[in-house]
């Protein structure tokens, strides 16, 4: 099939990805923790959403220091989640419903309870020693490296047994694997084949750019270290070796299966992204960037969302840049939330009772009309919002808990930190999925591992199923629109009025098909002049309000109104 720009059709370009956080999705056995049988009981719900791919966060054996991102056995299932036979049933159930399964691949680090690490730390001449990064104490203290989840912010941990330090860019229980060791790489590839041979449909590659680092560990100057705050990726990750590893992984594993791969790419530039996703380089299919996620934070303070909101002009600039980046080569992704971010509607829309529904729908419209594979996070489809915990004891996330301790130890302002976390903490998006209005939102019959958002009596699947005007039904409608109009997938993207402070408008074109998307990102009414060839009337495909006011050559947009209109022929 020939298309403008001829990007080549692939199922993963046309797919709608739904990220499922297993710990919080559905508990089947009353222990308060979501599990595989819980997901199995909701397979029809997933199918009825109209999505294509489920990306599930790690479900491998893990002591759960970082909710499964610390894996102690890559070939087994976490006890709390079930067994391998549950997994087989889940995969089978998804495939029977024409849904694909993408798993998380966490190979920058393992758990310190993984057998490889137990061996590695046991003696300096153990065959597994080189599976990790060690710095012998006789060389003096290793050059400073920051750690994401360490209370003291230090990524080198002294290990008395062998009088050496090991590296952990994440928590002290997540030692970094040494990718320069070909034996270790081979074991990872074998493990990947194990899952592909079971029939999974792809991997989302966790912290993948971190696998390649300068393992001579040069010292950084004070200035460089200061600059690293929040931007360590540039220093610690994406060493040119990354491409050697990914290319080898592609040759030995990925190229042998019809699967999709997506890299997590914090700090990755457009140029670097191209090196990873350009098909001629034979590395990965897609990457998700963090540039959008970084908008609207106050610089110099840990995750403080600017109370004055974010700059839409900047937002448009970033998403336009990333859309334009893949016009001729490679392919992008688009998302506005996940398990590491606060809730999409709270962060980018407006979760007040008045505006939650229109703003959630508007954001859904945005994700479904961009030139990229859209990724939704479970709960977005019903407008789940931030829980905003008051107390540190309510948090379960290692990031929030350890940062709190870090700030406290350094006599910082913990009160302010807790205020900031209300808008930015990862646990905002990890609260239990809201199925219905019964106790614990129908997530569990036991005590949930983390509090349920008290808004569940109004915000839940059961209520929204019944309401034709609900966010959930709008989400389904948008899926149909994207599926019916290939222009919304492959069509070119042209930004209009880039300096407009409230409206994000663009045109998507493929052959004779042309669509105008107009999104009011503000809580105000805005008069907006549409281009002349769009007869806004019978050509409106999507409108998140009942009507649309027009006068002269303008439309009067309601707060967070979203319109998708087809250009009149001719």
From CA 150, how far away is CA 399, in angstroms rounded? 8
Could you say which of 65, 104, 112, 264 is catalytic? 264
Give me the phi and psi of 518, to 5 degrees please.
-125, 120
Among residues 283 and 397, whose Cβ is nearest to ligand NOJ? Answer: 397
Could you say which of 206, 272, 351, 380 is catalytic? 206
Site for ligand NOJ in 314-343 (CB under 6 A): 339-340
Q: What DSSP string describes 263-306?
A: EEETT--HHHHHHHH-GGG-S-SEEEESTTTTTTBPTTSTT-B-
Distance of closest approach, residue 87 Cβ to ligand NOJ, in angstroms: 21
Site for ligand NOJ in 209-268 (CB under 6 A): 264
Site for ligand NOJ in 263-302 (CB under 6 A): 264
- In 3D space, the residue among 416, 480, 516, 546 whose CA is nearest the CA of residue 49 turns out to be 480
Tell me, yes or no, if 113 is annotated catalytic.
Answer: no
Residue at token pair 């419209």: 365
CB 493 within 8 A of CB 487: no
Distance of closest approach, residue 483 Cβ to ligand NOJ, in angstroms: 28
Distance set, CA 4 to CA 74, 117, 486, 492 (Å): 42, 51, 11, 8
Question: Checking DSSP bridges between strand 526-529 and strand 492-496, what pairing results, if any?
Answer: unpaired
Q: Classify 86 as helix, strand or coil.
A: helix
Distance of closest approach, residue 288 Cβ to ligand NOJ, in angstroms: 10
Distance of closest approach, residue 66 Cβ to ligand NOJ, in angstroms: 5
Among residues 264 and 380, whose Cβ is nearest to ligand NOJ? Answer: 264
Question: Checking DSSP bridges between strand 260-265 and strand 286-289, what pairing results, if any?
Answer: parallel
Among residues 339 and 514, whose Cβ is nearest to ligand NOJ? Answer: 339
Distance of closest approach, residue 425 Cβ to ligand NOJ, in angstroms: 12
Rg of the chain over CA atoms, in angstroms? 24
- In 3D space, the residue among 480, 15, 5 whose CA is nearest the CA of residue 202 turns out to be 15
Tell me, yes or no, if 264 is annotated catalytic.
Answer: yes
Distance of closest approach, residue 46 Cβ to ligand NOJ, in angstroms: 21
Residue 501 DSSP symbol: S
Distance set, CA 556 to CA 205, 527, 548 (Å): 44, 4, 7
Distance of closest approach, residue 146 Cβ to ligand NOJ, in angstroms: 14
Among residues 40 and 205, whose Cβ is nearest to ligand NOJ? Answer: 205
Distance of closest approach, residue 148 Cβ to ligand NOJ, in angstroms: 7
Residue 146 binds to ligand NOJ (criterion: CB under 6 A):
no
Q: Classify 149 as helix, strand or coil.
A: coil
CB 181 within 8 A of CB 131: yes
Among residues 209 and 558, whose Cβ is nearest to ligand NOJ? Answer: 209
- In 3D space, the residue among 353, 334, 360, 336 whose CA is nearest the CA of residue 475 turns out to be 360
From CA 314, how far away is CA 306, in angstroms rounded? 14
Residue 345 binds to ligand NOJ (criterion: CB under 6 A):
no
- Please identify which residue in 134, 156, 170, 288 interacts with ligand NOJ, judged by CB under 6 A: 170
Residue 377 binds to ligand NOJ (criterion: CB under 6 A):
no
Mask 47-66, x = binds ligand NOJ (CB under 6 A)? -------------------x
From CA 462, how far away is CA 434, in angstroms rounded? 9
- In 3D space, the residue among 352, 322, 349, 316 whose CA is nearest the CA of residue 334 turns out to be 322
- Please identify which residue in 18, 60, 69, 326 interacts with ligand NOJ, judged by CB under 6 A: 69
Among residues 52 and 206, whose Cβ is nearest to ligand NOJ? Answer: 206
Total binding residues for ligand NOJ by CB under 6 A? 9
How many beta carbons lie within 10 A of that of residue 371, not counting itself? 25
Distance of closest approach, residue 68 Cβ to ligand NOJ, in angstroms: 9
Among residues 69 and 404, whose Cβ is nearest to ligand NOJ? Answer: 69
Distance of closest approach, residue 162 Cβ to ligand NOJ, in angstroms: 25
- In 3D space, the residue among 360, 356, 381, 364 whose CA is nearest the CA of residue 433 turns out to be 381
What are 103's strand-pairing partners?
Answer: 56, 203
Residue 541 binds to ligand NOJ (criterion: CB under 6 A):
no
Residue 106 binds to ligand NOJ (criterion: CB under 6 A):
yes
Among residues 249 and 517, whose Cβ is nearest to ligand NOJ? Answer: 249
- Packing angle, helices 182-198 and 241-252, rounded to 10: 40
Among residues 66 and 351, whose Cβ is nearest to ligand NOJ? Answer: 66
DSSP element (H, E) containing 565: strand 562-566
CB 211 within 8 A of CB 135: no
Residue 118 DSSP symbol: H
From CA 48, how far away is CA 51, in angstroms rounded? 8
Among residues 25 and 69, whose Cβ is nearest to ligand NOJ? Answer: 69
From CA 69, how far away is CA 64, in angstroms rounded? 7
Residue 207 binds to ligand NOJ (criterion: CB under 6 A):
yes
DSSP element (H, E) containing 197: helix 182-198
Residue 206 binds to ligand NOJ (criterion: CB under 6 A):
yes
Binding interface with ligand NOJ (CB under 6 A) = 66, 69, 106, 170, 206-207, 264, 339-340
> Which residues are the active-site residues?
206, 264
């Amino acid at each position: 099939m020939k298309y403008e720009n001829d990007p080549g059709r692939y199922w993963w370009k046309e797919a709608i990805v739904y990220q499922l956080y297993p710990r919080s999705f559905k508990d089947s056995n009353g222990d308060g923790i979501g599990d595989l049988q819980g997901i199995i009981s909701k397979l029809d719900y997933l199918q009825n959403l109209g999505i294509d791919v489920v990306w599930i966060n790690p479900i491998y054996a893990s002591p759960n220091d970082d909710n499964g991102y610390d894996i102690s056995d890559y070939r087994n299932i976490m006890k709390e989640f079930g067994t391998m036979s549950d997994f087989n049933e889940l995969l089978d159930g998804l495939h029977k419903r024409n849904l694909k399964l993408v798993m998380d691949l966490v190979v920058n680090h393992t758990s310190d309870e993984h057998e490889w690490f137990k061996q590695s730390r046991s003696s300096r001449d153990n065959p597994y020693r080189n599976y990790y990064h060690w710095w012998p104490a006789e060389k003096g203290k290793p050059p400073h490296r920051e750690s994401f989840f360490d209370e003291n912010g230090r990524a080198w941990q002294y290990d008395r047994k062998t009088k050496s330090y090991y590296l952990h860019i994440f928590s002290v229980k997540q030692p970094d694997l040494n990718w320069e060791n070909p034996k270790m790489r081979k074991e990872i590839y074998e493990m990947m084949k194990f899952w592909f041979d079971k029939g999974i449909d792809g991997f989302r590659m966790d912290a993948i750019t971190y696998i390649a680092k300068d393992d001579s560990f040069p010292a950084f100057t004070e200035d460089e270290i200061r600059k690293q705050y929040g931007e360590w990726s540039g220093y610690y990750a994406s060493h040119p070796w990354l491409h050697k590893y990914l290319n080898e992984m592609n040759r030995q594993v990925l190229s042998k299966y019809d699967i999709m791969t997506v890299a997590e790419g914090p700090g990755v530039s457009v140029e670097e992204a191209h090196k990873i996703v350009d098909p001629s380089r034979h590395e990965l299919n897609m990457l998700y960037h963090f540039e959008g996620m970084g908008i609207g934070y106050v610089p110099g303070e840990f995750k403080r969302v600017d109370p004055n909101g974010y700059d839409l002009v900047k937002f448009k600039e970033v998403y336009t840049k990333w859309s334009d980046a893949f016009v001729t080569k490679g392919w992008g992704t688009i998302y506005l939330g996940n398990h590491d971010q606060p809730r999409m509607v709270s962060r980018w829309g407006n979760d007040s009772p008045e505006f939650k529904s229109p703003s959630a729908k508007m954001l859904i419209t945005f994700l479904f009309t961009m030139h990229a594979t859209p990724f939704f996070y479970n709960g977005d489809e019903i407008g789940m919002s931030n829980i905003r915990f008051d107390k540190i004891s309510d948090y379960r996330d290692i990031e929030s808990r350890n940062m709190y301790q870090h700030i406290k130890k350094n006599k910082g302002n913990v009160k302010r930190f807790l205020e900031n976390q209300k808008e930015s903490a990862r646990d905002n998006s990890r609260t239990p999925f809201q199925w219905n209005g019964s106790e614990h939102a129908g997530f569990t019959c036991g005590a949930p591992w983390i509090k349920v958002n008290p808004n569940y009596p109004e915000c839940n699947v059961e209520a929204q199923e019944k309401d034709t005007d609900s966010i959930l039904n709008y989400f389904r409608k948008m899926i149909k629109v994207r599926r019916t109009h290939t222009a919304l997938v492959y069509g070119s993207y042209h930004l209009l009025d880039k300096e407009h402070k409230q409206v994000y408008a663009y045109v998507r074109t493929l052959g004779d098909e042309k669509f105008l998307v107009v999104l009011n990102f503000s809580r105000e009414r805005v008069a907006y002049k549409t281009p002349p060839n769009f007869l806004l009337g019978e050509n409106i495909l999507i409108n998140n309000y009942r009507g649309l006011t027009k006068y002269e050559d303008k439309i009067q947009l309601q707060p967070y109104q979203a319109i998708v209109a087809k250009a009149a022929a001719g």
